[in-house]
């Protein structure tokens, strides 16, 4: 299948700044005259958003890690076939907040085998692969502080509520994935101020994908 747009994914722990940076990059790319589609996982299509509600509310916790991974993959299969692939085929760039690496880090960390994760990826993605994955890396306590400050409700979601060692294990898993696939990943120091992270993201996208982006001025998130 020919993909004409570029497919970019943002990964990292809770509160690392993925959504903030994704929004900013989308604006910058649009200013450069590109057609950009912003989306997220789990979610992106009506059916996948319905699965998201169940997955994050905690109802899915009783399922166990493999069944849960199947639900993430099910949401992803719909998202990929209904939104991501058609948009790329039409020449739109797709920026996605979390993707396969979150399943590897979270459900892999909960015990789903690499073999099963690979199988689920093959089923949901076919020949699709992100052109670039931006890993926003931050100390887990710092990320959780940001996530706590951002949250509108008192209750953390299903995964935010996990304990620090689990968050730390996910951080290490993300870093290991980046080390294993250096051509796809770029690791960004997400502890820096928002504008500095944005400048790093812009520079990497320009260099890795050969996309000419205008200089980033100061603006609010
Ligand atoms: N570099 C940064 N420095 C300080 N605060 C940040 C930074 N990036 C994002 N934030 C803030 O931290 C919170 C979480 O950011 P968000 O982009 O929603 O993270 P994520 O999508 O990774 O969970 C938000 O309130 C956001 O405004
Ligand atoms: C895409 C994906 C997300 N998740 C988790 C990670 C997040 O805790 C949650 C999505 O919540 P979200 O609010 O999008 O993440 P963040 O708090 O970083 O902005 O789902 C998985 O466990 N597996 C997956 O495959």
1 vs 14: CA distance, rounded Å: 33
Two tokens, residue 6: 């570029």
As beta bridge partners, residue 190 has none
Q: What is the ipTM of this complex?
A: 0.97
User: How far, in Å, from the CA of 22 to the mean position of ligand 1?
Assistant: 11
Query: Which ligand is nearest the CA of 138, by number?
Result: 1
**pLDDT, position 218:** 47
**CATH class in words for 7-209:** alpha beta
Does the Cβ of 146 fall within 6 Å of ligand 2?
no
Across the chain, which has 221 residues, the per-10-residue mean pLDDT values are: 85 97 98 97 98 88 92 98 98 98 97 98 97 98 92 78 93 98 98 97 96 70 44
CB within 8 Å of 103: residues ≥ 6 apart: 69, 72, 73, 76, 117, 120, 121
Q: Domain limits of the chain?
A: 7-209
Does the Cβ of 106 fall within 6 Å of ligand 2?
yes
Does the Cβ of 98 fall within 6 Å of ligand 2?
yes
Task: Name which of 30, 35, 88 is nearest 213 in CA terms.
Answer: 30
- Strand, coil or helix: what is 210? coil
Q: Which helix (H) or strand (E) holds 93?
A: strand 93-97
As beta bridge partners, residue 93 has 36
């Amino acid at each position: 299948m020919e993909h004409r747009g570029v497919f970019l994914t943002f990964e990292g722990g809770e509160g690392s700044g993925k959504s903030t940076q994704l929004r900013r990059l989308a604006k910058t790319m649009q200013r450069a005259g590109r057609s950009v589609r912003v989306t997220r996982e789990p979610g992106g299509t009506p059916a996948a958003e319905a699965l998201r509600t169940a997955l994050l509310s905690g109802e899915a916790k009783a399922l166990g890690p493999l069944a849960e991974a199947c639900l993430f993959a099910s949401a992803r299969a719909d998202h990929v076939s209904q939104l991501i692939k058609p948009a790329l085929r039409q020449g739109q760039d797709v920026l996605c907040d979390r993707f396969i690496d979150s399943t590897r880090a979270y459900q892999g960390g909960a015990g789903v085998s690499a073999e099963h994760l690979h199988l689920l990826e093959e089923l949901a993605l076919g020949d699709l692969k992100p052109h670039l994955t931006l890993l926003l890396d931050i100390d887990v306590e710092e990320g959780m502080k940001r996530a706590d400050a951002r949250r509108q409700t008192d209750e953390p979601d299903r995964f935010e509520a996990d304990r620090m060692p689990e968050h730390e294990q996910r951080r290490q898993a993300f870093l290991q994935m980046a080390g294993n696939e250096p051509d796809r990943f770029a690791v960004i120091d997400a502890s820096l101020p928002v504008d500095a992270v944005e400048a790093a993201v812009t520079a990497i996208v320009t260099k890795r994908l050969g996309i000419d982006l205008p200089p980033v001025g100061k603006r609010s998130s």
